[in-house]
Amino acid sequence: EMEKLLPYNVQQGALVSLDPRLGYIKSMVGGVSYAKSKFNRAYQAQRQTGSAFKPFIYLTAFAKGYKPEDIEFDEPVTYQTGPGIFWSPQNYGRTFSGAITLRQALQFSVNVIAVKLMDKVGIKNVLNTIEKLGVKSEIRPYLSSALGASEITPLEMAYSFGVFANDGKYVEPTPILKIVNPYGEVI
């Protein structure tokens, strides 16, 4: 279906599908055409995670005792990121919702609350959570990573999200189970 994306100047894409219970990679597409590019975007391409990073923050918070019904305030906030350097995260649409539950903040992907929560639970704790989910890519230890500023491969995103679907259990991804010759014999 890449043809539908051509008007938007999308040239390549990747897909990873896996069984989170067993870790079996069911399918992996590394690009549109191997003849055009041998670079496998599914496991070689580092891409910013965007809002897909936020569940890692909430998982860390819930593991530390926060509850989905806890209230947080979606309001303007500013962080000092260096000498004389300040950063104010913004929500999509540049509006604020006031008091909302963590469940609602995750549901509606509220940027400000994700950043505030990452600050409260500790960046290092979020990075430890991500490591436990099997991610080996380097996540920069900055609050902007809460909004997906760090890069992870699509394969890492697939198996780290697989942990959510597998009742919290990480299973090492397995690309090949066996190789069979034309005679049906396992090599």
| 105-155 pLDDT tens trace | 999 999 999 999 999 999 999 999 999 999 999 999 999 999 999 999 999
Contact 58, 44 (CB under 8 A): no
C-alpha 160/C-alpha 178 separation (Å) is 24
- Residue 74: strand pairing partners: 98
Over the chain, what is the mean pLDDT? 94
* Mean pLDDT in consecutive groups of 10 residues from the start of the chain, 187 residues: 84 92 93 89 94 97 98 97 95 96 98 98 97 94 95 95 94 88 91
Report the distance separating Cα 71 and Cα 100, nearest Å: 5
Q: What is the pTM of this model?
A: 0.89
Instruction: Give the pLDDT confidence score for residue 183 in this predicted structure.
Output: 94
Of 141, 163, 115, 123, residue with least CA distance to 18:
163
